[in-house]
Amino acid sequence: MTATPRTPPEELRADCARCFGLCCVTLPFTRSSDFALTKPAGRPCVNLAADHRCTIHSRLAGSGFTGCTVYECLGAGQKLSQHTFGGRDWRADPDLVPLMTAAYPRMRHLHELLWHLHHAAALPGAEPVRARVTAAIATLDDLTHQDADTLLAADLPTLHESAAELLRTASDLTRRRHASRPRDHHRGDLTGRALRRADLRAADLRGALLLGADLTGADLNHADLLGADLRGAVLDGADLSAALFLTQPQLNAARGDTATRIPDDLARPSHWT
- Ranges of the chain whose pLDDT falls below 50: 1
Predicted confidence (pLDDT) per residue in 77-132, tens digit: 999 999 999 999 999 999 999 999 999 999 999 999 999 999 999 998 899 999 99
Domains of the chain: 10-175 (no CATH), 182-273 (2.160.20.80)
User: How high is the pLDDT of residue 112?
Assistant: 96
CA distance linking residue 178 with residue 220, whole number of Å:
12
Distances (CA, A) of 4 to 7, 135, 157, 175: 10, 21, 28, 11
